[in-house]
Each structure stands twice: as structure tokens, then as C-alpha cells.
Structure 1
Amino acid sequence: MRSTVLISGCSSGIGLYCASQLQQAGYQVFATARKESHLAHLRAIGCHAIYMEMSDPHSIKVAVEEILHLTNGKLDILFNNAAFGQPGAVEDLPTQALREQFETNLFGWHELTRLIIPVMRRQGQGRIIQNSSVLGLVAMKYRGAYNASKFALEGLTDTLRLELASSGIHVCLIEPGPIRSQFRHNALQAFHKHINIANSHHQQAYENTIARLSASESNSAFTLEPIAVFRALKHAIQAPKPKARYYVTLPTYIFALLRRVLPTRWLDYLLIKSD
């Protein structure tokens, strides 16, 4: 039987690319999205397209039931990927914006993972792979909601890895830096939805934020294509002993090292200067 994999957040970018590549490699891929146009595209490339809204526990439950019905109760790999970024200074973030960030980036992942763990326990094996971020290792200005969701994900995943250590279920984190995707476009929409620029102390900085998020291409020389994440995902899926963490892009390697060796004040100085 083909290995089965569930990937959340496959409308574009990392999720879409990984779903396509795994489907071509012979996996039975269940790829989730919300918009019908995205679901239609996933069907067109050969995936099982499943509607899932990460902020809606009922949607997650229905999607998992549909997948398990199609696989006779089997699932080998879960790749949690669906996420978005909510920009804005911490003092300007409505608490509701923080709730929405955590609903999609953490609580939905937890809901989905809890439904899949019993399946993998019955099988005696499985892979749970979490797509985190360099911003789960270090914080950057005006990304407080996203930083917080990814720091929380790191802690939850580390705990899960310890608790499942003798179960046959491997738990891995992938930690990318900048990857070419629709992430900035979606972040700009979230920014305009929740941040009151006119009444903010950070107006000047927000002009830079809007310019960065509005650009058609990332201005970072370190931006990689989604294939960089796929390579890490492929190893996490296929290796007999996958890594606990996979760093992707040079900034992730650099900041992971600096976090370990620099005093907090020195690291803060570098992060304040970064954007």
C-alpha cells in the first residue's frame, strides 16, 4: 500500500509544492485548503483535495473523518503547514488579532494532531512534522503575534516529541527562513484588517512594513524556493531516524547559532537592526 500523507495549507507556496512533489513520488496525498479554486487545482494535480478551516474544530474533525474513511483508518504522515503572519507592533495588536493568529497557527494544529495521534498509535508508527520558522527561534520587530505562535509551537512540539519517544511516532520541526510564497500578500491583508496606523507610535516603521509586504518579490537575498523545505520534509519522512529539527535557509542557521553563543543584549542589538 502507498504511504498516506496529510498536508494542511496547500493553497500555495510550501504546502502546494510539497503536495505536488509527494503525489508525483507515489504517495497518497491528502491536501487541504479552504477556497474551491485551490481545491480544484489540487485535484487537477492528482491530490485528494480536502476542505479544512484551521480555526474551526468541526471542519478539522469532518476532514479527518473523510480522510480516514478513504484510507481505511490509516495515516502515515502528518505535515502541519497551514499558517499566516499577523504583522504589527505588540502595543497595536488587538487581542482578537492574537487570538486569530493562535487559532490558525497553533490551536488548529493541536486539534488536528490530537485526532491523528490515536491513528498512528494503533499503527505503531507515524511521522508528525511541524513547519515552524526561524521566528520560532528568535523574535523580530513587528511580528509579535507570529513570533508568539511559533515560539509556542516549538515548545508544544518539543514536549510532544518527548511524550511520543517510545511510541514509534517520530516528531520533527522544520524551521525555514524566507521562502518564496504568498505569505507576504496574506500578511499585508491581516495587517490592514487589524492595525490602526493613524493612531500608532510606529507609523514610520509601518510604511516600511507596507512597502516590504507589497513588493512582488522578497528583497531578501536569502529567499529560497519551496523545494528547500521539501528537501527537509523528504528527509523527515524517509529517514529511519529523522532529525528533531531541520534548519532551512542561511538566516535560520545563523540565528540558531547566534542564539546559543551571544549574550541576549548582543543578540537584541542585531535583531533590532534587522528587518
Structure 2
Amino acid sequence: MSQKSILITGCSTGIGYDAAHGLRAAGWRVFATCRQQKDVDRLRAEGFESHLLDHQDTTSMEAAVAGVLAATGGTLDALFNNGAYGLVGPLEDVPTDGLRDLFESNFFGYHTLTRLVLPAMRAQGHGRILNCSSVLGFMAMRWRGPYVASKFALEGLSDVLRLEMSDAGIDVVLIEPGPIRTEFRRNAIAKFEQWVDWKASPRRAQYESELLDQLYKRQGKPDPFELGPEAVTKAVLKALTARRPRARYRITTPTHIMAIAKRLLPTRVQDWAIRKI
């Protein structure tokens, strides 16, 4: 039986980095990709077949896929779209260009990369597309509007793609983590500083009394429900090896609680509860 292959994005740290190591340990041939060359070089030093790939750069995606297919002889068993970032702040303070920039990475890049690998999967008659969503892909939360919007969109795209690819032997799966211990929150600060002019906001007093503390002072403080990235890797392995994978794999207690609340509670009650968080 030949070794199965997977292309993973966003492997410099966190979920992607752990998944690359976990899948390699499980016997997969892992193509671990990153946005920056220094991270590609580091992964190559760790023994990975690594390529430069940025979800916001079509040329880099085309080159990475071409390199992977050249290495495998034209086959690819799985794709894990994982790379993404968050932009926090009230939606009225987020310029449309900031929202568009985030969607290029979190949504359009996933679609572009998926389309690039589908011809190989169609030709071989099988494949699995795993898209990393979030608990915020089905439950809204204040001050995280851009990320929520991108993940809601990704959920819809994945659901439709799952239906459309069912006749081609290609499974499409959503991975839905809750709070995971990564650099994600710290990385969101740079995007906040790039796009949000909070001093000019009608909510300036709210920033000063609450929002800036949430963004800056709570960085690194443990969340009681937070899990390590290995929890996501475990779900990814299940999604890849199950004979008939589930449409969604939910990770962390908050994700399961929110899924139940979404199904059972009226919207107004959900809104009241979310505002208390």
C-alpha cells in the first residue's frame, strides 16, 4: 500500500505545525507549507517537504501545488486548508479593505487552493478536503465580526462543495475548533493596529475601559477550556482515516456547548447569553 500524501497550509506554528508532525508520525507524506521562506527553511531542516504558500498569493499556491504533484507523480490524497488570521474590533470600525484583506486569506485562498488540487483528486478518483473553520463558523460573537463572517462563509462553501463532490469520491470535511493554544490571538494584534483606528471610534471609551484590555492584557492568559493543538491533530486524523468521515468535527467543550445552544435556544436567548461572555 503506497504512502498517503497531504498538503497542509499554515504550518509555521500552532495547528498546522502540530498537524504536520502528527500526520508524519502516523505515516503520511506531509507537504507542510508556510507564508514565509524562513519558516519553509526551518521545516525543511526538520525533514519536511516544505513549500512557500500564501493564501493571499495565487502564484505561490500554483507553484506549491505544482511542486507537490511533481514530487508525487501527480497524486494527492488530502488537503488541509488551515492558514488564517483574525481581525478584532467592532464591525463599524473595520474598513471594508480590512475585511476584504481577511477574506483573501481566510476564504478566497481556500477556494483557490481547493480548485488547484481538485483535478488531481478527480483523476485518481478520491480525495479529502479538510477546511479549518471554528466555533465562530456557526456562532456569532461581538468584536470578532471579520473572522466570524469569513468562517460562516467557509462553512457554506464547504457544505455546498461536499454535496457537489460526492459523485467524484471526494469528501469535504469541516474542522471546528474552539479555544486552542496557538499564536493566533497575538498575531491578531498586528492586524488590529493596521486596520482599526480606535481613537476615532464612537466607541473610544469602550475600547479604553474594556476592549484594549481584552486584546493586549489577556494575551497568554490561560482559558479554562483551552486545549493544545494536538486536539485538532487528533480530529484531523479521524477525518482522514474514517471510511465515511463526518461533515464536521467539533473540538473543545465550548464548541460542543455552542452547537447544542445553537440548535435548541431561540436567537434572542442566544444573543443574551453571548453578550455575557
Query: 2: CA distance between counterparts of 1:267 and 1:216?
Result: 26
- Separation of aligned partners in 1, 2:121 and 2:11: 22
Size of the aligned set, in residue pairs, is 274
**Separation of aligned partners in 2, 1:216 and 1:132:** 22
What is aligned with 1:213? 215
Q: 1:127 aligns to what SS in structure 2?
A: strand
The residue that corresponds to 1:222 in the other structure is: 225
User: What's the offset of the Cα at 1:125?
Assistant: 0.7
- Tell me the equivalent position of 2:40: 39
Range moving further from structure 2, 35-44 or 77-86: 35-44
Please name the residue that 1:254 is paired with.
257
Distance 2:83 2:93 in 1: 25
Determine the C-alpha separation between the residues in 1 that align with 2:249 and 2:206: 32
Q: Which residue of 2 aligns with 1:2?
A: 3
The normalised TM-score by structure 2 is: 0.96
Where has structure 1 moved over 4 Å in runs of 4 or more? none
Q: Which amino acid aligns with 2:215?
A: L
On the 8 A contact 1:133/1:150 being kept in 2, the answer is yes
Give me the TM-score of the superposition, normalised by structure 1: 0.96
Q: Does 1:153 align with 2:154?
A: yes
Query: Is 1:33–1:53's contact at 8 Å kept on the other side of the alignment?
Result: yes
1:62 pairs with 2:63 = yes
Q: Are 1:212 and 1:219, in contact at CA under 8 Å, matched by a contact in 2? A: no
Match of 2:96 in 1: 95
Counterparts of residues 1-275 of structure 1 (less than 5 Å): 1-207=2-208, 208-214=210-216, 215-274=218-277
The alpha carbon displacement at 1:80 in A equals 0.4
In structure 1, the gaps of 5 or more residues are none
1:204: Cα distance to partner?
4.1
Whether the aligned pair in 2 keeps the contact of 1:23 and 1:46 (CA below 8 Å) is no
Instruction: Report the 3-state secondary structure (helix = DSSP H, G, I; strand = E; otherwise coil) of the residue aligned with 1:157.
Output: helix
| Letter of the structure 1 residue corresponding to residue 6 of structure 2 | V
| Equivalent pair of 2:185/2:219 in contact (CA under 8 Å) | no
8 Å CA contact retained: 2:141, 2:148: yes
Cα distance, 1:21 vs structure 2: 1.3
8 A Cα contact 1:20 1:45, kept in partner: no
1:216 is displaced (CA, Å) by: 4.3
Cα deviation digits, residues 46-89 of structure 1 (max 9, x gap): 21111011111111111111111111111001000000001111
The answer on whether the counterparts of 2:19 and 2:233 sit within 8 Å (CA) in structure 1 is yes
Secondary structure, aligned partner of 1:74:
coil
Whether contact under 8 Å (2:86, 2:102) holds in the other structure is: yes
Helix, strand or coil at the partner of 2:245: coil
Per-residue CA distance 1:161-202 (angstroms, 9 max, x = gap) = 000112111111010010000101111111011101111122
Q: Render the CA deviation track for 1:222-242: whole Å, top value 9, x for unaligned.
A: 110001101110000111011
What's the RMSD between the two structures over aligned residues? 1.2
Q: Which runs of 5+ in 2 are unaligned?
A: none
Contact kept? 1:212, 1:218, Cα under 8 Å: no
Partner amino acid, structure 2, of 1:210:
L
Distance of aligned partners of 1:118 and 1:150 in 2 relative to their CA distance in 1, 3 Å threshold = same
What SS does the corresponding residue of 1:171 show, helix, strand or coil? strand
TM superposition shift of 1:247: 0.6
